[in-house]
Structure 1
């Protein structure tokens, strides 16, 4: 009530947003004659003038109207499309660092041009982010001509590109890429051993995220992970455990309610069965009988000794739990498909295969065992980041989507992003029919098949949205049986995606698609002449033939457009409601683009997952009271609203999951930033020796504090030094007495002098540049290994702290406290390991060291920084043969090869491949 009164007085948020933007729009429109008067050759020259103005200190807002007018005219000249006023308004919203919600078919790709152009003028780079490689390639190919016309460079990031090509693409003014490639490149850049091998710019300036809700919300529940196989894992255990699943029985449900019996905490009741399924959160809950059976089976197979709950047996419990999840909660053609002999995950929001992604925590292996596919080694995390924390590193982010307003609260809370809803260029006249509710899946499928056949006979195009591959193939069989020709688009048939979607509006077309989020291809009534022409001839190889076919198809589609329009436009059929209202709205939004007519209707059964898990019992009872036990349907706006309420509950639960993930990742994010900053400083540092001396001196100071605090005997000094600093000073008895007699300050100075003298001796032994690279190599090797171990420890800690809720403790607070302690201990161990390693190494002077190098070492004795910084006297052959900054055994001077401790065969390879040394450069 209060919001209605305020809206009446102040206007709605949409009205207020437009009111703020309209003065800029008027200024841009007034400059259109100026832009029209320019010659083609003036556009890049004008871009240079803008750059000069910005360099002189002029603000972006000062050149905004001219830049937008110029970009709009460039679109008209190059593409033959003049951006509508609503598209300019959308672009202004993007420049402001907000989200612009525009209905499907309003031209979001063109909307981003002006904002990208203006923000690229600074030379700091703009990233345009899409949800898949096809859209990144398509948008780059379409808009590159406009940006080149304006004098900007455009790059594209695709999988399997060489580092040099990636570096060039990121160096461009505007770079098109997917969210996955950007995130993985960031992680890979922070695993490299040579600063020149980095691909991305150091700073992230501005990004425009297409389908921002899909990327920052739908995909935010799964972090990006770079991992390597654990070669020591025995996968035969997973195969053995997989054979136990048939022995377990589910707890019987109440036939009347379909629910498990309620537990009475005051009465000990024994329910028949070994486990319960929590399908909402995808968990397996074992009963006491289930744990007893688990213990018996594992003992009989010789996989455990003693009690199931002994610490050493927890891993077997984990294996069996994951195997149960794989069998009972993850289903083929719903959660994953089998392709090319591999288990490939299906994105629940887009229906596409997530190539290269694996379920974590051993679940993927459990599914491989279930499907009788070779079980791969468990992956160990080497680097990880969430999309939330990656994109929050940009100075300014913005985005476009057709459905963001329903998630405005989350965008504001997590990303500090405001959502501005843009009006459509033409009024939407689509008719959204109330949902039809059926008792069973079978009744619903029969009704859908009947409706689709009737529409197809008259020639009206129909687009059917399903939530899984399994449901799309089931519906396909029903339509085939009823003689309805159709196309099917799902994770098994995504290669022809663009052509299938483009033709979904043709007369008589029937198309089944697994989710429509982020498809990116416009559905035009009557068909798409461009796609039809491309299907017949390659435009680049035979442009004249392509033009002829295009003109012919254009005439044909123009005739069909009027026919389809007269039939009522595109008819959208939803086979069930999705967990998120946004996904349903995206499906609906495919009809009624640019003022076209259209219809949308959802068919629902009480056996659908959403209804079954979130409040379908009450509706089932209501329909039962009405006597609806046949194929009759219930259709009422009250029912549709109750379904929306169920969707809101699911959205709130999913928001809590994402928030929970982010809360924990924020702890790790602060640690990750510290580690990556440390790596960057090591990679760019010319005098690593100075850092190591400083670290050794700090450790010595801590040692002396403990030494004096505990009043260690003089006889144990050498042993204590070796234990605490892992350095053999080799004090003679008389030296010990003399050292003990010194003041604490002089003792520290003496140890500091020892470090400097030892480092000086090593620096004089070999060429300074080679020595500096060796020190960097040692530091980075120890840093990366311990960081990977720390990630594994933090993952284990996160699982462990959840149990502390039983002790009335906040698991997040516990995670923060212990996570900090683990991180602090890891840094301490890192410092000791590097110092110990470097000062234990003994080097001999190289035979080929030039007199100049030796003299330089002597002349700069007073300045350890100058001495150990290297210079230009390093070996050229060493420079050429460095592998990502790591001195290989073949190119390290023999004096170093003989005395440097070997890398352990089972240690991670220093090159950062993720493999063990023996399987990589140690071969």
Structure 2
């Protein structure tokens, strides 16, 4: 109570932060008349003036007001867009290294230009991070006009670019790129054999658009560059056959925690099944030699109990494709790790793809923490504010809207059963459609969106085919005539190719759009329809300017008319109170987009994204969620007691509970889930930090090696260390000569140093000590190495030493990554022994790292003491191993699997016949089609039917 009173008097902490920027906004406004008088050249010259100021000791903060004023004036001249005061505040928040939460339609793309320009003055490069290639291109071309006007260069990093193009883009003052491309470029740079072939030039300042999507949703899974492992498809198929024979008593399923484990009876049952089939040869399932079998059984159990078809994944053209739980989009190219995807393929009886092993990986959490300064912007971040602050040290500041929000967010309606809920949703859709109010219905999965589509069809509605022009024209005609068309559109992973058309028409009168969470990102539904898309379609092929102008005028006039219809599509609704209270009252419900949610998501952020589709820039709008006690969130979080209570209170079929207390109860449940998910991500990060510390050491060491012209001193030190350790192992300090293992030492010297020296004879000499043997071995090894240098020449040997050292480090690091993955999977079981799994992981990972560095010295020494040089290609021409970078576009779901090393191919170019597909080998989907059409393979011969 006292907190609420204090907020009323003094304002919230967020209000005080926003208010602190008002004086600077006023100062920027005072400069506006002065800057408007400048010529274009004079305005552009201010960039060099600012740079001189920085060189003379000014800070970026000193230049903030004049620089922001300069960008505002440049945007007004170039784009015809003048920054609102709230947009300037958002820019200051970004410059300060915080997250600016700005509602949909507030112009976040323009907001970024001011802090980007200011920080680009340092000349170290600024990265603007987007969620897909389309947005990177669009924003770079759109806002790049402002930067170009002010004398700055703009680069774009998108999929399919070669290293030269990437290097040039990173060298620009401002670089737009996707989060995936930035992360993979960092990993690939640290696999290169030459500093000159690296593309990135450092990590100074980055602004992340849709920061919650990238740093929270996608932070759960790392970027992985991987290579193929041995095929185990037969084992997956064999184990999958036994899973349907298990009964519920054989396993314990926890939907809340998303875990499933075999019971004691289940262990015995599956062991017997495996023995009868000859899969379990000897011992029990949990003997050490059967660890791999246990892993496969557990993954198959998960596939059958925790993963539902058309919810977590779909099967399309013989492939199991993941559905992102947050966006509802297909993610071709993204595969579940640790054999789970292969278990799902076995379950669905499709071809099992081989597992991959990790060659390099990094999480977005650890990649973006490389930046000296980081900022972000999104429409929904406040609910995850604790996570942003804890993990990234990024405070969240809510920026007020330019115009007051006119959307009305109504209380949820809660029904007992899903059937009653959907009946109410259909009824509400029909009422809205009759008055031509556009409706966007949000669903939690593809399955639910198609269920709702079927119910609409049964009610006499018809699904729009956006590939059929007559179907779209019927939609326009009904809007013009004011008569409902009884048509609807479905937007989910199965129809993502038509997304642009569906979203563009979602705001016209009478439109009904059923969408999964796909519509939550990168879309701006405008009342009356999207003028730009309508004009582009209507003027296609029209070259006469007068005719073109007439078409544009007609389309714009029609959309203006449609907008008025939508604005006035609200209703007067009579609200009946509970029995015995005040009489019924009539309430005016607003027009605009009507958002209907059919289920609450685990994260409040996703619900807010759905609501944010309506009410942009002061437009009216309306949102309401329809829930049932059979929904996943309600069912998992204790709806049994509520169901019994409602029945006792006499809730009739078809009646709903509507009360703010219900909303608060649901919000509490969502907060619990968010907190649990945060704890999971935080725990995963603690483990990943262990690997990240080791990654930094290896990458720094590797870079130092490839930057050196000559690594002879490093190689010599390694050789001497290996000899010292060999001698100390076989000739312990203070041991008597008869206790020496000279034969073992001689054998190891022959194996690791390729030397045939009389170690046994030396040991029999009178008065000889271990130091004497160490000295003789060292001199013999140094002499052998010197002879090799004389034989091949110092330049050649320096190159060979460097190549072997770097390649050996790479190979051992890859093996180490696989070992750490296995360690992470099993270390959790140590909690049963009252030992902290994280501390166990840290300890053993450190020991494994030390062992890896010791093996690096031994392996490098052994190879260099045997090497025979035939021909030494330049180091930068060394080929990377065959590997794949796993990309996915979170907004389009487009397959972006690509070869990380273009030189790696299964067939030589000369072996390929463009007319004979059988000679092409395995072609990556994003590679150019071998037929010579110039198209990508996926759009040509690899096109999916």
TM-score by length of 2: 0.84
Which of 243, 256, 262 lines up with 1:286 in the alignment? 262
Q: 1:629 to 1:291 in 2, by over 3 A?
A: farther
* SS class of match (1:207): strand
Q: CA deviation at 1:639?
A: 1.0
CA contact (8 A) 2:710 2:802 kept: no
Cα distance in 2 for partners of 1:197, 1:436 equals 59
Q: Secondary structure at the match of 2:315?
A: strand
Match of 2:583 in 1: none
- State how far apart, in whole Å, the 2-side matches of 1:56 and 1:709 are: 63
CA change 1:453–1:842 in 2 (3 A) is same
Match of 1:757 in 2: 783
Q: Give the drift of 1:733.
A: 6.5
1:198 matched to which residue of 2? 198
Return the alpha-carbon distance in structure 2 between the equivalents of residues 804 and 457 of structure 1. Answer: 63
Report the CA distance shift for 1:638/1:748 in structure 2 as closer, same or farther (over 3 A): same
Q: Following superposition of structure 1 onto structure 2, how do residues 120-131 of structure 1 map, counting pairs within 5 Å?
A: 120-131=120-131
For 1:825 and 1:765, locate their aligned partners in 2 and report how far apart those are by CA, in whole Å. Answer: 33
| CA deviation map 1:81-110 (0-9, x unaligned) | 111000010001000000011111111111
Structure 1 counterpart of 2:231, from 219, 233, 241 = 233
Which residue does 2:748 correspond to in 1?
723
CA deviation digits over 1:554-586, x for unaligned, max 9? 221112212211221111100100000011111
Candidates 505, 508, 511, aligned match of 1:509: 511
* Correspondences of 1:95-244 after superposition (within 5 Å): 95-201=95-201, 203-230=202-229, 232-244=230-242
Q: Which has the higher contact order (CA 8 A, sep 6+)?
A: 2
In structure 2, relative to structure 1, the CA distance for the partners of 1:827 and 1:556 (3 Å cut) is same
The corresponding residue for 1:248 is: 246
Question: Which deviations, in whole Å up to 9, do the C-alpha atoms of 1:343-390 show, x marking residues without a partner?
Answer: 221211112222321100101011112222210111111111111111
Match of 1:374 among 351, 361, 367: 351
- Residue 365 in structure 1 maps to residue 342 in structure 2: yes
C-alpha deviation, 1:518, in angstroms: 5.1
Residue 822 of structure 1, CA deviation: 0.9
User: Aligned partners of 1:86, 1:5: CA distance in 2, in Å?
Assistant: 26
TM-superposed CA distance for 1:704, in Å, is 4.7
In structure 1, runs of 5+ residues without a counterpart are 251-272, 847-874, 887-910
The answer to whether the 8 Å contact 2:596/2:625 transfers is yes
1:593 maps to which of 616, 619, 624: 616
For 1:866-891, what per-residue CA distance to the aligned partner results, in whole angstroms no more than 9, with x for missing partners? xxxxxxxxx8xx449933599xxxxx
What residue is the counterpart of 2:488 in the other structure? 486
The aligned runs of 1:390-405 (5 Å cut-off) are 390-405=367-382
- Offset at residue 818 of structure 1 (A): 0.9
Q: Give the match for residue 27 of structure 1.
A: 27
Contact 1:762 1:843 in 2 (8 A): no
Aligned equivalents of 2:901, 2:12: Cα separation in 1: 54
1:421: how far off?
Answer: 0.8
Deviations 1:688-735 (A, max 9, x none): 222111222233344455534163748854741653782244334698
1:52 equivalenced with 2:57 (yes/no): no
The answer for the alignment partner of 1:638 in structure 2 is 661
**Counterpart-to-counterpart distance in 2, 1:391 and 1:26:** 33
1:517–1:583 Cα contact (<8 Å) kept: no
CA contact under 8 A between 1:697 and 1:751: conserved in structure 2?
no
Residue aligning to 1:697: 720
Deviations 1:132-186 (A, max 9, x none): 2222222223212222222222222222222222222222221222212221221
Task: Determine the C-alpha separation between the residues in 2 that align with 1:312 and 1:822.
Answer: 21
1:304 aligns with 2:280: yes
- Between the aligned partners of 2:280 and 2:310, the Cα distance in structure 1 is 35
Task: Identify the range of structure 1 (232-241 vs 717-726) with the bigger mean alpha-carbon deviation.
Answer: 717-726
Return the TM-score normalized by structure 1: 0.86
Is residue 711 of structure 1 aligned with residue 735 of structure 2? yes
Distance in 2 of aligned mates of 1:71 and 1:525: 30
In 1, Cα distance between equivalents of 2:743 and 2:72? 76
CA contact (8 A) 1:464 1:575 kept: yes
Contact 1:227-1:914 within 8 A present in 2 as well: no
Offset of residue 210 of structure 1: 0.9
Q: In structure 2, what is the Cα distance between the partners aligned to 1:295 and 1:802?
A: 23
| Partner secondary structure for residue 343 of structure 2 | helix
**How far 1:462 sits from its partner (Å)?**
0.7
User: For residue 855 of structure 1, what is the aligned residue in structure 2?
Assistant: none
Contact 2:228 2:356 in 1 (8 A): yes
Asked whether 1:839 is paired with 2:862, we answer no
Sort the Cα spacing of 1:760 and 1:442 in 2 relative to 1 into closer, same or farther, 3 A: same
- Report the counterpart of residue 550 of structure 1 in structure 2: 552
SS at match of 1:601: strand
Aligned residue number for residue 813 of structure 1: 839
Structure-2 change in CA distance of 1:732 and 1:755 (3 Å): closer
Answer yes or no: is 1:519 the counterpart of 2:517.
Answer: no
| 748 and 46 in structure 1: CA distance in 2 versus 1, 3 angstrom threshold | farther
Q: After TM superposition, list the pairs within 5 Å mapping 1:350-749 onto structure 2.
A: 350-482=327-459, 483=461, 484-515=486-517, 519-537=521-539, 548-567=550-569, 568-628=591-651, 630-706=653-729, 707-709=731-733, 711=735, 713=737, 716-717=741-742, 719-720=744-745, 722-723=747-748, 726-732=752-758, 736=762
Asked if structure 2 preserves the Cα contact closer than 8 Å seen for 1:530 and 1:550, the reply is no
Shift, 1:780, TM fit: 2.3
Aligned to 2:938: none
For residues 49 and 736 of structure 2, the distance between their equivalents in structure 1, rounded to whole angstroms, comes to: 73
Cα distance in structure 2, aligned partners of 1:795 and 1:740: 52
How far residue 738 of structure 1 moved from its aligned partner, in angstroms, is 10
Whole-Å Cα distance in 1 between the matches of residues 357 and 168 of structure 2? Answer: 31
> 1:360 and 1:343, CA in 2 relative to 1: closer, same or farther beyond 3 A?
same
How many matched pairs? Answer: 843
**What is the SS of the residue equivalent to 1:58?**
coil
Q: What is the Cα deviation at residue 675 of structure 1?
A: 0.9
Match of 1:78 in 2: 78
Q: Which moved more, 1:565-574 or 1:26-35?
A: 26-35
Partner Cα distance (1:66, 1:740) in 2: 85
In structure 2, what is the equivalent of residue 793 of structure 1?
819
393-402 vs 530-539, which deviates more? 530-539
Q: What stretches of structure 2 of length at least 5 have no aligned partner?
A: 462-485, 570-590, 882-898, 912-945
Bigger drift between 322-331 and 813-822 goes to 322-331
Q: Cα distance 1:23–1:884, how it changes in 2: closer, same or farther (>3 A)?
A: farther
In structure 2, the CA distance between the partners of 1:519 and 1:538, relative to structure 1 (3 Å rule), is: farther
Shift of 1:459: 0.8
Q: What secondary structure, in the 3-state scheme, does the structure 2 residue paired with 1:368 have?
A: helix
Of 189-198 and 716-725, more deviation after overlay is shown by 716-725
Worse overlay, 543-552 or 21-30: 543-552
1:453-504 C-alpha deviation (Å, 9 max, x unpaired):
1111211111111111111111122222221312221122223323322322
Whole-Å Cα distance in 2 between the matches of residues 831 and 143 of structure 1?
51
Q: Tell me if structure 2 keeps the 8 A contact 1:570–1:598.
A: yes
Q: Using the alignment, how far apart are the partners of 2:553 and 2:768 within structure 1?
A: 95
Going from structure 1 to structure 2, the CA distance change for 1:119 and 1:341 (only over 3 Å counts) comes to farther
Contact 1:91 1:112 (C-alpha < 8 Å) held by counterparts: yes
Q: Given that residues 125 and 175 in structure 1 are in contact (C-alpha distance below 8 angstroms), is that contact kept between their aligned partners in structure 2?
A: yes
Change (3 A) 1:276 1:914: farther
Distance in 2 of aligned mates of 1:243 and 1:543: 68
**Cα-to-partner distance string for 1:213-268 (whole Å, 9 max, x where unaligned):** 111112211122221111x2321111121222221111xxxxxxxxxxxxxxxxxx
User: Residue 406 of structure 2 aligns to a residue in which SS?
Assistant: coil
8 Å CA contact retained: 2:879, 2:904: no
Find the counterpart in structure 2 of residue 263 from structure 1. none
Any conservation in 1 of the 2:742–2:759 contact (CA below 8 Å)? Answer: no
Q: Residue 44 and residue 550 in structure 1: after superposition, are their counterparts in 2 closer, same or farther (change >3 A)?
A: same
Q: Distance in 1 between matches of 2:322 and 2:784?
A: 55
The question of 1:883 aligning with 2:862 is answered no
